[in-house]
């Protein structure tokens, strides 16, 4: 009953993240953005690891900027980028060509916005594939000769990257085959799952 009560309590909570999945030509489009109910972003270390072996009253984690501060910082970065582009436009042709040659080339097939390398942010984006049902003939052991029916068999579990929840997330990943997919957004360090969505 405690488990059922906990599930009921969680269902009553207002969602902190709106998460949407769309299958599109062998790819999965993931869209997420924080709601008005999202808690202030104080990205703590794993509650499990933070408790063990630490002094009393100590805190581990990173304090993120408010959405307003993030917007101001992005606007400043845009202004700087515009100045750099203007300077580059006035540079000698050979300088511009050498700068372009020195620029790192992207090799990833994924297009993303708002996501960084896994382990660098307060929230982890994860992709799970599974088979809904499978019937298996048992050939050995105590169940030899029996036929078992299994449900929701996980076939892969992949961390896609990190998200700071400060900006909307738009991410596309390859999704071969027709197995259902589940996306989970979880606090780093095996923390609370703040959003989950399934695409059958």
Per-residue pLDDT at 117 exceeds 70: yes
Tell me the C-alpha distance between 41 and 11, whole Å: 22
Mean pLDDT, the chain, whole residue set: 75
| Domain-wise residue ranges, the chain | 2-199
Both tokens of 132, joined, read: 């809904």
* Residue of 120 and 180 predicted with greater confidence: 180
| Highest mean pLDDT out of 91-100, 112-121, 182-191 | 182-191
Q: With cut-offs at 50, 70 and 90, classify the pLDDT of residue 72.
A: low
- Report how far residue 38's alpha carbon sits from residue 185's, in angstroms, rounded to the nearest whole number: 13
pLDDT of residue 49: 41
Q: Where are the alpha helices (DSSP H) in the chain?
A: 2-12, 47-51, 67-89, 93-102
Q: For residues 71-94, give the mean pLDDT.
A: 48
Q: In what order do the strands lie in the sheet with 181-187?
A: 147-163, 123-137, 181-187, 193-199
Percent of the chain exceeding pLDDT 70 equals 64
More confidently predicted of 182 and 117:
182
What global pTM score does this model have? 0.61
pLDDT band for position 81 (cuts 50, 70, 90): very low
> In this structure, are residues 180 and 156 in contact, taking their beta carbons and an 8 Å threshold?
no
């Amino acid at each position: 009953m405690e488990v059922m009560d906990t599930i009921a309590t969680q269902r009553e909570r207002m969602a902190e993240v709106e998460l949407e999945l769309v299958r599109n030509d062998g790819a999965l489009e993931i869209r997420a953005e924080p709601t008005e109910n999202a808690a202030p972003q104080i990205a703590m270390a794993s509650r499990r690891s933070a408790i063990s072996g630490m002094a009393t009253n100590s805190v581990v984690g990173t304090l993120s900027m408010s959405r307003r501060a993030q917007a101001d910082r992005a606007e400043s970065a845009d202004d700087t980028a515009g100045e750099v582009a203007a300077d580059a436009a006035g540079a000698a042709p050979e300088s511009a060509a050498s700068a372009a040659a020195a620029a790192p080339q992207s090799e990833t097939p994924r297009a993303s916005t708002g996501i960084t390398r896994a382990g660098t942010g307060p929230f982890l984006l994860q992709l799970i594939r599974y088979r809904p049902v499978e019937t298996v003939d048992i050939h050995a052991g105590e169940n030899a000769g029996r036929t078992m029916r299994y449900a929701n068999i996980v076939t892969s579990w992949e961390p896609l990257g990190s998200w700071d929840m400060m900006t909307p997330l738009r991410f596309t990943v390859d999704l071969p085959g027709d197995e259902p997919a589940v996306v989970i957004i979880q606090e780093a360090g095996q923390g609370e799952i703040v959003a989950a969505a399934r695409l059958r």
